[in-house]
Structure 1
Amino acid sequence: MLRGRGHAIASAFAAYSEHNYYRRVRLPKLLTVPAFRQRACDQIDDDVLRGFWSWYDDLSEASRAQVIAPLMNKVRGFLLRPFVRAAIAGGPSTVDMDEILNTGGICLVRIARDALGMETARLVGSIVVARTWQAATRRARVPQRQRRDRGLYIDECHNFLNLAYPLEDMLAEARGYRLSMALAHQYLGQLPKELEEGISTNARSKIFFNASPEDAKKLARHTMPRLSDHDLSNLGVYHVAARLVLGGEEAPPFTAVTEKLSPAIPGRAKAIRKAARVNTRPPVADTDSASGRAGQSTADPRRAA
């Protein structure tokens, strides 16, 4: 995870390149070549960013190398993988997250950790989460009654916490943007303490399925004295323990039996895939950027997301 000065450089560069995708792949050059950095900074109107890069230029070579080392290690994971480089810096995105949130749609992002490597997969996933949150916050311009309910589902969420904005703060504010968040993980120990407390505070209505004895000891504070940690770790199949907020007040905890999922509809998955292929149009080829790349595939990897 980027921290300290390295995180500050990443945030400053993200703001600088937000409207210019081509410069994103130029990060190493921006950090190491003074002449290129000067030309880039001449285009910045923000006084805060100008001050940041002035501070950066005043550092000695040794101090500068120490500051950017963590960031450069992460960037190399991007630049060494053609798929990631094309997805992150290959041109204007073919996925409009604002449109998905405001007009309806589903965006599925598959991040293959075995192909990309764990560190690169975490960074790519964190970028997707961050872009989704940016689109959600832009809904502040839309009147409250016109914001449609949307959901963000993050599997193995503990892998995607390299965010400039803390996820626990996102949980507190997401309700106002009509964005629900489902964070899937294996056990509580995978989450930072701040995020665990943020979930405990903001997810006021709680439903527990069978938990491990270790997690049950932590979760039992929400159900005691009626239900103990032993009860939470020994729930039967399809059984849950619930502590709901009704009328602004916490109701006593209770147990319940959930319904089984309905059987899969034969042929439905095939119909969905067929509809997705029809609705997904390939991007228009860029003849300028494609020149001199004979033999390379022009398919946009983001279409496979």
Structure 2
Amino acid sequence: METVTIETSDGMPVAGLRYTPQGRARAVVVLAAAMGVRQDFYAAFAAFLAEQGIAVLSFDYRGVGRSVPVAFRRSLRGFQADLFDWAERDYNAALLAAKAWQPDVPLLIVGHSLGGQLPGLLPDNHLVDGILTIATGSGYWRENAPQLKRFVWFMWYFAVPVYTRLFGYFPGKKVRKVGDLPKGVIYQWSRWCRNPHYVSDARGRPIRAGFEKIRVPFLSISFTDDEMMSRTNIDRLHDCYRNARMERRYIRPSDVQAARIGHFGFFRPQFRESLWRDALTWIEQRTADRNQAQSAA
């Protein structure tokens, strides 16, 4: 693993971690995080892929983890960023950096939650050879899993407006919700989560064109015991990728001899020989498919 700096289109440096396999990489994966989750959370899974010959580039969105500028380490008050910055600048820059790093192998996305929601907003998503999403769905609150729906209305209609106005950013660490987030990010995410269309513009109109451009193989892995995403959330989001070659897997914990998986559990090392192997097999198949297509051409 090595630390790298990813340069974005507006000059904001974003922190990344590269996991390099021994020998020639068979594919390169951009590993995109969930809302407020640091890239370090994914280190074990990224290292596993690298052990299997898959290069991995993870990154922190601006204002999160290693991508918080020194001047804002104590407080994100005044830090400017929204979800379009995260997608069109940070995530897209990671995509380009991965392609430049490993130009001759298939480029894939593995997106957890938010990381699987944003590929439709990436200007250069045409470079991608396949997308795998983990526990990804729409955040529309009225369709959330029952255990989240009971109290998430309080988050969007009280906690976000009150705490963000008071602190100048969302103090997630203090209130134990999703982590500290820039004001522009939390306000935009709140609007999305209150909108049945979810990914939408400032007027509340759905944004779909970039999602519909994606036609590559696509695997959604989700879990029946996800405490955040209902199956309706999951299907609603993946329906936006209507031209992708979509496969959807809804996994019960009992399918992998586990008592619990939930929204974050996929990335626990206990699933190395089950869920991780399944994901690896899918990535390897995409690599084989692309190589076969190139040979035929």
Q: TM-score, normalised by structure 1?
A: 0.29
The structure showing larger relative contact order (alpha-carbon pairs under 8 Å, at least 6 residues apart) is: 2
Higher strand share: 2
Higher helix share: 1
Q: TM-score, normalised by structure 2?
A: 0.30
